[in-house]
Amino acid sequence: MLKGKVALVTGGSRGIGAAIALRLAKAGADVAILYAGNSQAAQATCADIEAQGVRALAVQCDVKDFEAVKAAVDQVVVRFGGVDILVNNAGITRDKLSMRMSEEEFDQVIATNLKGAFNTIRHVSPLMMKKRFGRIINISSVSGLMGNPGQANYAAAKAGMIGLTKTIAKELAGRNVTCNAIAPGFIKTDMTGAMNEKVLEEAVKQIPMKRMGEPEEIAGLCAFLCSDEAGYITGSVIQVDGGLYM
């Protein structure tokens, strides 16, 4: 389905990003991942990707850093010859009620989760426009749709990603480049693993499906949005949240 395509997945070392990287590899794409610092996890993901019979590349790169992202994209292009699929998945949380949140906690989350997505799009979209093909998928969150106490920084970044998605979709549609957002609910990863168990238990009670999601349940939709069959879907925000927000 994605044979001959090159995918770049940010935050591909762990969690949802690793599941997406593997799913795209299973569909036949060569996959490059960007990660912050966990080299061991990044190498493990690369081994899983290569086990699918495709090429893998891991680049340590802080998505907050505009020039570092440019250098990383250049590296991917040198190795694989281009980028057809971009998945903006790298993200962090710094949860705290807004009256206690520091300026740094706010800035770090916006810079990673929102500006990070702009940085990659800025450097990858010219390649896609030239090729008259591209798929951009931004991993937002239901927090960006419904708000969430303790996540003023995160919800603002994730809502910002939705505005970014729709704007990029409009700007690039004429060049056959689609841009969509996925808004996951609670998914089993290190990010939610770090949450207070009681808080998580209460959150699960609010989910109509009465369970958390698996990273693979995000990856499946992501792979579909990358496929030729999804060529007429752009500017959409698709929830994968067990019915949490409706």
**What element of type H or E holds 34?**
strand 30-35
Do the Cβ atoms of 136 and 84 come closer than 8 Å?
no
- Which one, 178 or 239, has the nearer CB to ligand NDP? 239
Which of 4, 1, 2, 46 shows the shortest CA–CA distance to 22? 46
Do the Cβ atoms of 190 and 14 come closer than 8 Å?
yes
- Which one, 133 or 141, has the nearer CB to ligand NDP? 141
**What element of type H or E holds 217?**
helix 215-226
- Which one, 11 or 134, has the nearer CB to ligand NDP? 11
Write down the least CB distance from residue 21 to ligand NDP, Å: 10
Write down the least CB distance from residue 165 to ligand NDP, Å: 13
Write down the least CB distance from residue 154 to ligand NDP, Å: 7
Write down the least CB distance from residue 239 to ligand NDP, Å: 10
Write down the least CB distance from residue 124 to ligand NDP, Å: 15
- Which one, 5 or 14, has the nearer CB to ligand NDP? 14
Interface residues with ligand NDP (CB under 6 A) are 10-11, 13-17, 34-38, 41, 62-64, 89-92, 112-113, 139, 141, 184, 186-187, 189-192
**What element of type H or E holds 20?**
helix 15-26
- Which one, 15 or 134, has the nearer CB to ligand NDP? 15
Task: Specify whether 232 is catalytic.
Answer: no
Q: How far is CA 123 from the centre of its chain?
A: 16
Among the residues of the chain, which ranges form H helices?
A: 15-26, 39-50, 66-80, 103-109, 116-131, 142-146, 152-172, 190-193, 197-205, 215-226
- State residue 151 phi and psi, 5-degree precision: -130, 40
Which of 165, 144, 139, 142 shows the shortest CA–CA distance to 154? 144
User: Which of 35, 154, 232, 245 is an active site residue?
Assistant: 154
Catalytic site positions: 154
